Each structure stands twice: as structure tokens, then as C-alpha cells.
């Protein structure tokens, strides 16, 4: 237990550092770009992140799950095969999506300003970089290097991005910058993160070198990968649909304001995200071998998540408005209402626990996909109705309602399919507390 909490606290510290860096970058972007250009930047980044998930063909989750199992069985030849095949697939699909999106920008450029179109084109260079960073990080997670896997994307990239933004602002004689400059800075930061994660892989996974004999399970990898791709892509589209639909149904400034609300409210689930990164390979290992030990692990995880998410949510709801005005500026004060609504949805998500992860790691990803797809459709419908009426607040209501529904439905399926409980309010935890008191 001591090792679990030590690793969890370290992971949470890294994620907390990520939140701090993310908030700093949001503050810089908001002050340097303003609501309109921040909205363009947020739209371009969201669009590319969706494409990056599609380009992985679900291999991120497959790699984390299968590498853990292969290492346990000593099947390093399959790991080499998985590495070679996944890199080839990711690069091939990334290039194809890049070309299609680039040509699409030319075809649909009638409603875009020239500078905004360039922002979109520059953002496309992030597509293969993001996909490769996540793929290598999945190998690190699957091999047990959970903390190392978090450094490139969540620490190195945003830190370098902030440095580049500051340098551009200072060298530009303090002139406000355009969204395309911010996108180029993001491309530079992502390149540094990619080099960093490849260096970590070479150091930590030397025994899994791509040289040497390799064996393949292509059909099984593709079956799982395609299912998980639709799942990851649907999930990513759902969580970025608000930004995309706000741009079309409201205004680009509303997109910028909503981006701030999303950034602040996301702090609540970093305990959940940190724990998920740690327990993902353990779920895959323990599910078939030690069901009772897995339930104990989930109880520890739920306690840790609740202890971190509850005070964070109360603080943001109580002092969020003042915090936004002080840190981001009075022009973003309207983001507070959306922040509160999103905080409530994120809090429920954190307290219910790792429901989606458990289903994915126990080969029940088809259930997660179906529920996620239904929630995506519900989110689009609610957005279409609420955004024209309430703009960013309407998007927040839609997102929070669908988020809560998704978690509750998956919690029911986790209990039905696996017999596991994911929240503190479960019989196993309550029995342990009663026995301890007694």
C-alpha cells in the first residue's frame, strides 16, 4: 500500500505541475491572443488532437495492455513486432490524414481569414508528432515506467511551449501575437517532447530494442485497435465537440472563453487521470489472476481520487471567478459560470472512478464504445439546442449532463460484467471501514 500511495502521490505531483504549467500557458495565451485568436488556436488544436487519436488506430490502449502481458510472459519478440507494426501504422495514417485535412482546408477556406487558415495548416504538423509521443508513452506505461511516460506530453511540451511564447513576445517588442504564431510555438514544443520521449524509450527499454527477432499478432492487434480507435476517437470528439460547435454556432470569442473554463475545471480530474496511468497495466494483469487484489486496488484508488478531487472542486466553485479575473483578465470573467457547471460534471466523474479504463483493460471496450457513441450523439443534440441560446454556458451544461450520464451507465456495466466496484460508496470499502472501527 505504501508503494501505491507513493507512486500515486508522485504521479499526482507531476499532473499538478502539468495543471500549473497549463494554467500559466492559458494565462499567457489569453493575454497575448485575446478571446478571438485564442478561440482560433483552441479550435485548431482540438481538431488536430482528434485526428491524432484516429491516426493511432487505438494502438495506445492496445500497447499499454499487451506490452504489460507480454513482459509478464517474457514474450519480447511480440513486443518488438508490436512496436514496428504500430509505428508503421501510425505514421502511414498520420500522413494520409495530413494530406486530406490540408486539401480540406483549401476547399473550405471561403469562411476563413488567411491567417486563420495558416493556423490550421501549421497545426496539422502536430498530427504525427502527437500520435508518436502518445504511442511511445503507451509503451512506457505498459512496461511499468508510468511516471516517465507522463513527462514528455504533460511536462516537457507545455514547459517548452511557455518558454517559446515568452521569447516570441519579448523578441517581438511586446506586440500581441497571432494564433498562427502560437500554433508554430506548439509545433516546436511538441518536437522537443518527441525527441525527449524517444530518448527515454532508448534508455529504459533497451531490452525491447526493435533490432532482433520479431513476431506479430496483426489480426488480433487490428481487431482490438480498430475497436479502441472508434472508442478513443468518439471520446475525443465528444470532449472537443463543445469547442468545435461553439465556433460554428456562437462565435470564435465564445470558444476562447470556453477554453479557459475547460482548463480550470480539468484540474478536478487530475487525481483520476494520475491513478488511471498507474493502475492500467495492473488491471490487465490482476483481472484474470487475482480478482480480490484488484478490488482492493480499486478501493485504494477511489480513496485517493476522492481525497484530491473534493477540496479542489470546492475551491474552484468558491473562488473561481476571482481567480479567473486575476489570472486571465476581466474579459474572461464570463467563463466562471461555465467553469462551475463543468466542475460539477468533473467531480461526479472523479468520484465514480475509473469505469472506462476497467472495461477497456478487461476486453469490454465494445461496451465503452457504444455508451460513448450514444453520449456523443446526445452531446451534439444538446449543443445544437443550448449553444445558440446560452453560448459557452449551454456548451457546459451539455458537457456536464453527458459526462455524468456516461459515468453512471459505465459504472453499472462494470459491476455487471466484472463484479468490481469503482467508488468509495461500495460494500467492500464500507465493510472494511466498519471492521476497522469495530
pLDDT at 437: 41
pLDDT at 113: 55
CB atoms within 10 A of CB 199: 11
- Residue 29: closest CA among 137, 200, 147, 165: 165
Report the predicted TM-score, pTM, of the whole model to 2 decimal places. Answer: 0.72
pLDDT at 186: 94
The domain locations on the chain are 2-437
Dihedral of alpha carbons 283, 286, 290, 293, sign = negative
Using an 8 Å Cβ cutoff, are 394 and 386 in contact?
yes
pLDDT at 2: 54
CA atoms within 13 A on the CB side of 93: 20
Q: Which segments in the chain show pLDDT lower than 50?
A: 1, 110-111, 433-438
Using an 8 Å Cβ cutoff, are 119 and 127 in contact?
no
pLDDT at 110: 44
Using CA atoms, how far residue 278 sits from 232, 242, 290, in Å, is: 19, 29, 17
Using CA atoms, how far residue 389 sits from 210, 238, 249, 342, 385, in Å, is: 55, 20, 10, 18, 7
- pLDDT, averaged across the chain: 82
Locate the DSSP E strands across 240-363: none
Using an 8 Å Cβ cutoff, are 214 and 76 in contact?
no
Using an 8 Å Cβ cutoff, are 358 and 414 in contact?
yes
pLDDT at 99: 92
How far, in Å, CA of 355 to CA of 407, rounded?
A: 7
pLDDT digits (tens, 9 = 90+) for 81-134: 888 888 898 899 899 999 999 888 777 654 455 557 888 889 999 999 998 998
Amino acid at each position: 500500500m505504501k508503494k501505491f500511495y507513493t507512486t500515486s502521490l508522485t504521479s499526482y505531483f507531476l499532473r499538478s505541475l502539468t495543471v500549473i504549467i497549463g494554467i500559466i500557458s492559458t494565462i499567457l495565451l489569453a493575454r497575448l491572443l485575446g478571446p478571438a485568436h485564442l478561440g482560433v488556436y483552441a479550435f485548431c488544436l482540438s481538431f488536430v488532437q482528434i485526428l491524432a487519436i484516429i491516426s493511432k488506430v487505438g494502438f495506445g490502449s492496445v500497447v499499454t495492455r499487451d506490452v504489460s502481458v507480454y513482459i509478464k510472459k517474457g514474450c519480447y519478440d511480440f513486443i518488438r513486432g508490436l512496436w514496428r507494426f504500430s509505428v508503421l501504422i501510425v505514421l502511414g495514417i498520420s500522413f494520409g490524414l495530413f494530406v486530406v485535412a490540408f486539401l480540406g482546408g483549401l476547399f473550405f477556406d471561403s469562411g476563413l481569414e488567411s491567417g486563420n487558415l495558416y493556423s490550421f495548416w501549421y497545426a496539422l504538423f502536430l498530427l504525427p508528432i502527437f500520435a508518436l509521443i502518445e504511442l511511445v508513452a503507451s509503451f512506457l506505461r505498459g512496461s511499468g515506467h508510468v511516471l516517465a511516460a507522463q513527462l514528455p506530453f504533460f511536462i516537457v511540451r507545455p514547459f517548452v511551449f511557455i518558454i517559446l511564447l515568452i521569447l516570441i513576445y519579448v523578441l517581438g517588442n511586446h506586440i500581441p501575437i497571432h494564433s498562427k504564431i502560437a500554433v508554430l510555438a506548439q509545433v516546436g514544443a511538441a518536437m522537443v517532447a518527441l525527441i525527449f520521449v524517444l530518448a527515454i524509450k532508448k534508455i529504459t527499454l533497451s531490452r525491447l530494442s526493435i533490432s532482433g527477432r520479431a513476431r506479430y499478432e496483426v489480426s488480433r492487434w487490428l481487431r482490438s485497435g480498430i475497436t479502441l480507435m472508434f472508442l478513443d476517437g468518439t471520446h475525443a470528439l465528444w470532449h472537443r465537440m463543445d469547442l468545435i460547435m461553439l465556433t460554428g454556432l456562437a462565435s470564435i470569442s465564445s470558444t476562447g472563453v470556453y477554453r479557459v473554463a475547460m482548463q480550470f475545471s480539468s484540474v478536478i480530474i487530475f487525481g483520476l487521470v494520475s491513478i488511471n496511468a498507474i493502475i492500467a497495466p495492473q488491471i490487465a494483469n490482476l483481472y484474470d489472476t487475482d480478482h480480490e487484489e484488484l478490488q482492493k486496488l480499486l478501493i485504494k484508488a477511489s480513496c485517493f481520487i476522492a481525497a484530491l478531487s473534493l477540496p479542489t472542486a470546492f475551491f474552484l466553485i468558491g473562488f473561481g471567478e476571482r481567480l479567473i479575473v486575476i489570472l486571465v483578465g476581466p474579459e474572461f470573467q464570463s467563463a466562471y459560470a461555465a467553469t462551475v457547471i463543468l466542475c460539477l460534471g468533473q467531480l461526479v466523474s472523479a468520484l465514480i472512478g475509473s469505469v472506462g479504463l476497467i472495461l477497456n483493460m478487461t476486453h469490454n471496450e465494445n461496451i465503452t464504445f457504444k455508451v460513448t457513441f450514444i453520449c456523443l450523439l446526445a452531446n451534439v443534440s444538446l449543443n445544437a439546442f443550448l449553444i445558440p441560446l446560452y453560448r459557452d454556458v449551454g456548451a457546459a451544461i451539455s458537457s456536464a449532463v453527458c459526462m455524468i450520464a456516461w459515468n453512471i451507465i459505465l459504472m453499472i456495466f462494470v459491476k455487471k460484467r466484472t463484479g468490481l466496484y469503482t467508488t468509495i460508496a461500495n460494500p467492500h470499502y464500507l465493510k472494511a471501514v466498519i471492521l476497522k472501527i469495530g
